[in-house]
Amino acid sequence: MERINCEVRSNWKQKVEEIGFGFHTMDGAYWDETAYYQFSMDEVDVLEKATAELFERCLQAVQHVIDNKLYPLFQIDSKFIPLIETSWENDAPSIYGRFDFVYDGIHPPKMLEFNADTPTSLFEAGVVQWHWLEDLMPGYDQFNSIHEKLVAYWKYLIPYLNPGTLHFTCLKDNLEDLTTVEYLRDCAIQAGLTTEFIYLEEIGWNRYALAFSDEKEANITNIFKLYPWEWLVREEFGENLLIAPERTCWIEPAWKMLLSNKAILPILWQLFPHHPNLLAAYFDNTYLMNDYVKKPKLSREGENVSIFRQGQMIAGTSGSYGAEGYIIQEYSPLPLFDGNYPVIGSWVIGCEPAGIGIRETKTLITDNLSRFIPHVIE
Amino acid sequence: MKKSKVVNLVLVAGLLTACSGHKEQKPNSRLFVRGDSASQYTRSPHTGMGHFFYFGPFGNYHPYYGYRHSGYESSGFSSKAGSAHISRGGFGSSGVHVGS
* Residues A314 and A190 reside in one and the same domain: no
* Residues A25 and A163 reside in one and the same domain: yes
A174 closest CB neighbour out of B1, B11, B97: B97
Assess if residue B87 is contained within a domain. Answer: no
d(CA A173, CA A158): 30
Q: Nearest C-alpha of chain B: how many angstroms from A50?
A: 16
pLDDT at A45 over 90: yes
pLDDT at B23 over 50: no
d(CA A182, CA A19): 12
pLDDT at B35 over 70: no
Chain B contact probe: residue of A96, A135, A171, A346 with most B CBs at under 10 A: A171
Confidence of residue B21 (pLDDT cuts 50, 70, 90): very low
Instruction: Please tell me which residue, B7 or B19, carries the higher pLDDT value.
Output: B7
* Residues A132 and A201 reside in one and the same domain: yes
Chain B contact probe: residue of A128, A179, A237 with most B CBs at under 10 A: A237
* Residues A27 and A129 reside in one and the same domain: yes
- Given an 8 Å threshold on Cβ–Cβ distance, is A203 in contact with B13? no
The pLDDT of residue A5 is 97
- Given an 8 Å threshold on Cβ–Cβ distance, is A145 in contact with B13? no
Assess if residue A297 is contained within a domain. Answer: yes
* Residues A84 and A42 reside in one and the same domain: yes
Confidence of residue A301 (pLDDT cuts 50, 70, 90): confident
Assess if residue A274 is contained within a domain. Answer: no
Domain range spanning residue A115? Answer: 2-261+336-377
pLDDT at A97 over 70: yes
Assess if residue B47 is contained within a domain. Answer: yes
The pLDDT of residue A366 is 81
Assess if residue B2 is contained within a domain. Answer: no
d(CA A94, CA A154): 10
Instruction: Please tell me which residue, B30 or A17, carries the higher pLDDT value.
Output: A17
Assess if residue B59 is contained within a domain. Answer: yes
Assess if residue A272 is contained within a domain. Answer: no
pLDDT at B67 over 60: no
d(CA A308, CA A142): 35
B100 closest CB neighbour out of A120, A186, A199: A120
Residues in A touching B80 (Cβ below 8 Å): 202, 215
- Output Rg (C-alpha) for chain A, integer angstroms: 20
Instruction: Please tell me which residue, A193 or B21, carries the higher pLDDT value.
Output: A193
Assess if residue A271 is contained within a domain. Answer: no
Taking only the tens place, the pLDDT of each residue in A316-360 is: 988 888 889 999 999 999 999 999 999 999 999 999 999 999 999
Residue A134 region by backbone torsions, left for phi larger than 0, else alpha for psi between -120 and 50, else beta = alpha
* Residues A110 and A235 reside in one and the same domain: yes
Assess if residue A266 is contained within a domain. Answer: no
Residues in B touching A117 (Cβ below 8 Å): 100
Assess if residue B16 is contained within a domain. Answer: no
Per-residue DSSP letter, A142: -
Q: Express as a percent the part of chain A with pLDDT over 70.
A: 100
Q: Nearest C-alpha of chain A: how many angstroms from B95?
A: 8
Nearest Cα residue to A373 out of A104, A123, A105, A32: A32
d(CA B78, CA A90): 33
Number of domains in chain A: 2
* Residues A237 and A352 reside in one and the same domain: yes
**Residue B24: closest CA among chain A residues belongs to which residue?**
A173
Assess if residue A268 is contained within a domain. Answer: no
Q: How many CB atoms lie within 10 A of CB A310?
A: 7
Domain range spanning residue B46? Answer: 33-80
- Given an 8 Å threshold on Cβ–Cβ distance, is A176 in contact with B86? no
Taking only the tens place, the pLDDT of each residue in A253-287 is: 999 999 999 999 999 999 999 999 999 999 998 77
Taking only the tens place, the pLDDT of each residue in A224-236 is: 999 999 999 999 9
Average pLDDT along chain B = 62
- Output Rg (C-alpha) for chain B, integer angstroms: 23
Q: Express as a percent the part of chain B with pLDDT over 90.
A: 8
* Residues A240 and A315 reside in one and the same domain: no
Number of domains in chain B: 1
d(CA A107, CA A101): 11
**Residue A118: closest CA among chain B residues belongs to which residue?**
B100
The pLDDT of residue A303 is 86
Assess if residue A275 is contained within a domain. Answer: no
Assess if residue B68 is contained within a domain. Answer: yes
* Residues A123 and A190 reside in one and the same domain: yes
Write out residues 281-340 of A within 8 Å (CB-CB) of B.
Answer: 300-301
Write out residues 224-283 of A within 8 Å (CB-CB) of B.
Answer: 226-228, 231-232, 234-237, 240, 260
Q: What ipTM does the predicted assembly reach?
A: 0.92
pLDDT at B55 over 60: no
The pLDDT of residue A258 is 98
HEC readout, chain B: CCECCCCCCCCHHHHHHHHCCCCCCCCCCCEEECCCCCCCEEECCCECCECCEEEHHHEEEECCCEEEECCEEECCCCCCCCCCCEEECCCCCCCCCCCC
How many degrees, rounded to 5, is the angle at CA A148 between CA A135 and CA A349? 115
- Given an 8 Å threshold on Cβ–Cβ distance, is B91 in contact with A235? yes
The pLDDT of residue B57 is 58
Cα A144 from chain centroid (whole Å): 16
* Residues A255 and A319 reside in one and the same domain: no
* Residues A114 and A199 reside in one and the same domain: yes
Chain A contact probe: residue of B3, B75, B96 with most A CBs at under 10 A: B3
**Residue B19: closest CA among chain A residues belongs to which residue?**
A175
- Given an 8 Å threshold on Cβ–Cβ distance, is B100 in contact with A118? yes
Taking only the tens place, the pLDDT of each residue in A132-145 is: 999 999 989 999 99
Is the CB of residue A219 less than 8 Å away from at least one CB of chain B?
no
Q: Nearest C-alpha of chain A: how many angstroms from B33?
A: 10
- Given an 8 Å threshold on Cβ–Cβ distance, is B10 in contact with A190? yes
The domain boundary, picked from A330, A349, A364, lies at: A330
Assess if residue B11 is contained within a domain. Answer: no
pTM for the full predicted model = 0.86
* Residues A251 and A306 reside in one and the same domain: no
Mean pLDDT of A198-227: 96
Q: Express as a percent the part of chain B with pLDDT over 70.
A: 20
Q: Which helix (H) or strand (E) holds A28?
A: strand A28-29
d(CA A118, CA B98): 7
A200 closest CB neighbour out of B2, B4, B91: B91
Taking only the tens place, the pLDDT of each residue in A142-180 is: 999 999 999 999 999 999 999 999 999 999 988 999 999
